[in-house]
Structure 1
Amino acid sequence: MLVTAVVGSGIAAARLSPTDVGLQLLENAVATALALGALILVFGPVSGAHLNPVVSAVDWWLGRRFGTGLSVRDLAAYVPAQVAGAVAGAVLADVMFGLPAVTWSRTDRSGANLWLAEVVATAGLVVLVFALARTGRTTAAPAAVGAYIGAAYWFTSSTSFANPAVTVGRTFTDTFAGIAPTSVPGFVAAQLVGGLVAVAALAAWYPHAGHTADAVVVPHPIRESAP
């Protein structure tokens, strides 16, 4: 659903404002930010709203010493689900707008400046999520995470993909939000580096972040109790 919002709003923006790229980006950013906040509210109680493999990997890494966060088994299940969901979301958006279900993107997004932007965008996102958990403010996660991604559309040159699964999903659509498959390795590598930068920052600013890894992105029960 996140990638459906990203791709679908990108298609709508290109159709509604065909001669104004800045307005297209604004429309795309606002729709994505609002959808992300809503999706965290929906899926937070189910899975913690783990929509991002980097967030999930850092959650496992920081929580492993304290018996918190995702287990290796959880992480191994989450990442394929995140990627599959992203691909399905792009296909759904294409079909809803009357386009071929799958068309490989031809939008090249490569260059050191874009990779740096992805490091910054991803690191900031991960630090935000863990800072909220560590300080007991996860109720603000839907608004805060949505606001951060919406803003990062504008303050990063890459328009803040900040998510390897979303990056892969966006290769399946040759529309406003697409990214060429050849550009994916650089983006994903930069996002992983961003995750490492976030780990280092959290070690300095929130050295006990692993204690609250169970609350990332928001607290969620391991198993729902029977009524």
Structure 2
Amino acid sequence: MGIDLPRRLVAEALGTGILVATVVGSGIMADRLTDDVALALLGNTLPTGAILVVLITILGPLSGAHFNPAVTLVFALRREIGANAAGAYVAAQVIGGIVGTLVAHAMFELPIWQASATVRTGSAQWLAEAVAAFGLVFTILAGLRFRSDAIPWLVGLYITAAYWFTASTSFANPAVAIARAFTDTFAGIRPADLPGFIAAEFAGAVLAMLVAGWLLATPRNALETRPAE
């Protein structure tokens, strides 16, 4: 990649920050506008899917638009990003995400520093997060294999769907989970519940990498086929 590391890190921090500001801010707005939890969730879902399409489209050419430590881990394991750069990406994502939460609070005139009291724990929640992260990473890898130009839409649509078919509402992202622990609003997660979520997200992402590596591999006979001399 021809973009220098500092600009890539700013892109990752900015993208993750805007993503989290969208998740938290739309959650606050939805919660204020309706007492219907299902409608509030829809109001949280649609902006999140939409902003992912925008962010991946405009920042993907700069940093790859990971915005997610689990995605960065997968690309590091695939040796598509160096270990030092991957560590810097993760730091930028976490910092950017937390700043996004604080900005959302400021926009809605809420206390800037908060800690969530929303309980999100248990085996069903952890399984949901593993499934969410698996689907996200598999979508990215399959998109890279077959339709790289469609990745912004594929990811945005996947997350929009996963909000509704997973019990956890699809965090699927350790940096976003950490950032959401700093808001005691609709989108929050209790800090004590972070370890289970983060472990499940990383596990789902690595499993997706392994499955995709086998399922999406080019068949050996296709590589070995040669025209007759």
What is the TM-score with the length of structure 1 in the denominator? 0.87
Moved over 4 A (4+): none
| Residue 206 of structure 1, CA deviation | 1.7
Given the alignment of the two structures, is residue 46 of structure 1 paired with residue 69 of structure 2, yes or no? no
- Please state whether the residue corresponding to 1:162 is helix, strand or coil: coil
Count residues in correspondence. Answer: 201
Residue identity opposite 2:64 in structure 1: G
1:190-201 equivalences under 5 Å are 190-201=200-211
| Residue 207 of structure 1, CA deviation | 3.0
Q: Which of 141, 157, 160 lines up with 1:147 in the alignment?
A: 157
Larger RCO, structures 1/2 (Cα 8 Å, 6+ apart)? 1
The residue aligned with 1:33 is 49
Q: Distance in 2 between matches of 1:141 and 1:134?
A: 10
Q: Distance in 2 between matches of 1:207 and 1:53?
A: 24
1:69-84 equivalences under 5 Å are 69-84=80-95
Residue identity opposite 2:77 in structure 1: W
Q: What do the CA deviations read for 1:173-226 (whole angstroms, capped 9, x no partner)?
A: 100000010010000010011012112211221236xxxxxxxxxxxxxxxxxx
Q: Structure 2: which 5+ runs fail to align?
A: 1-17, 219-229
Across the aligned residues of Structure 1 and Structure 2, the Cα RMSD in angstroms comes to: 0.9
| Residue 166 of structure 1, CA deviation | 0.2
Q: What do the CA deviations read for 1:136-195 (whole angstroms, capped 9, x no partner)?
A: x12111111000001000000000000000000001110000001001000001001101
Higher CA-based Rg: 2
Q: Which of 33, 51, 71 lines up with 1:16 in the alignment?
A: 33
Q: Distance in 2 between matches of 1:195 and 1:138?
A: 19
The residue aligned with 1:222 is none
The residue aligned with 2:184 is 174
Q: Which of 84, 91, 100 lines up with 2:111 in the alignment?
A: 100
Residue identity opposite 2:144 in structure 1: A
Q: What do the CA deviations read for 1:11-53 (whole angstroms, capped 9, x no partner)?
A: 0000011x20000000100010001111111211110111011
The residue aligned with 1:56 is 72
Q: Structure 1: which 5+ runs fail to align?
A: 209-227
Q: Distance in 2 between matches of 1:203 and 1:138?
A: 16
1:115-194 equivalences under 5 Å are 115-135=126-146, 137-194=147-204
Q: Distance in 1 between matches of 2:56 and 2:213?
A: 26
Q: Distance in 1 between matches of 2:66 and 2:123?
A: 28
- Please state whether the residue corresponding to 1:172 is helix, strand or coil: coil
What is the TM-score with the length of structure 2 in the denominator? 0.86
Q: Which of 85, 96, 101 lines up with 2:96 in the alignment?
A: 85
| Residue 84 of structure 1, CA deviation | 0.3
Q: Distance in 2 between matches of 1:12 and 1:144?
A: 26
The residue aligned with 1:217 is none
